[in-house]
Chain A
Amino acid sequence: EAGVVQSPRYKIIEKKQPVAFWCNPISGHNTLYWYLQNLGQGPELLIRYENEEAVDDSQLPKDRFSAERLKGVDSTLKIQPAELGDSAVYLCASSQSSGRDTQYFGPGTRLTVL
């Protein structure tokens, strides 16, 4: 069974530029999460989707961050414009449903903002 797929794996951009990250969850997983992981820290939840609905986006900085999961499968996380402090690893995870606890993580996208 394929795991959570994320692309790109690495991204280097200049500040004020836009950037987008893509995630394909494990097949059949209805719940999708985006986490932010700063260097030396644990992941922090940004947004959680149940199918195509964002059910928890309270930690998403909505002035510059947006996310979508239009068909309830793949998801895209966007930052526009990027700031220096956005340099981090962006992790995607999925679980079968909100009632199933186990979350499986992808390899992450390492963003560097210059």
Chain B
Amino acid sequence: GENVEQHPSTLSVQEGDSAVIKCTYSDSASNYFPWYKQELGKGPQLIIDIRSNVGEKKDQRIAVTLNKTAKHFSLHITETQPEDSAVYFCAAKAGGGADGLTFGKGTHLIIQP
């Protein structure tokens, strides 16, 4: 089955700086890679996703890159703000709609004022 590794487990950055979270996956058949943001006491909220036929996707201050050859993908947040503080999860999904998502263990992002 799929295995997703996520690093770092905790990331502290100054407000206004950029944050980068990295994930690797094991199953070369995986073709969909979402990123979720989870705030305390809430369910995961989708913030951006990328499919395997695309190398990069951007939505305002958030961008995701995918390297299929190396089987890794990254989340980039620019101009970080206090409200970006949360736990971020990467995930991977195998092709054909057969499976649910396999999640990484999460990154606790702390934005220092």
Show the binding face of A for B, using Cβ within 8 Å. 4, 6, 33, 35, 40-45, 48, 56, 91, 93, 97-108
Contacts and interface: CB of A to CB of B under 8 A. Distances in A.
Given A91-B44, A102-B34, A104-B46, A42 B91 contact: yes
Contacts of B98: 56, 98
B10 to A, nearest CB: 11
B99 interface: yes
Interface of B: 4, 6, 32, 34, 36, 41-46, 49, 51, 89, 91, 93, 97-106
A101 B32 contact: yes
Contact of B49 (A40, A102, A105): A102
Contacts of B89: 42-43
Given A104-B46, A105-B43, A105-B44, A40 B105 contact: yes
Given A45-B100, A56-B99, A105 B106 contact: no
Contacts, number: 62
Contacts of A45: 99-102
Nearest to B42: A107
A93 B44 CA distance: 10
A103 B101 contact: yes
A103 B43 contact: no
Given A42-B91, A42-B105, A42-B106, A101 B100 contact: no
A99 to B, nearest CB: 5
A105 B38 CA distance: 10
A56 B106 contact: no
B48 to A, nearest CB: 11
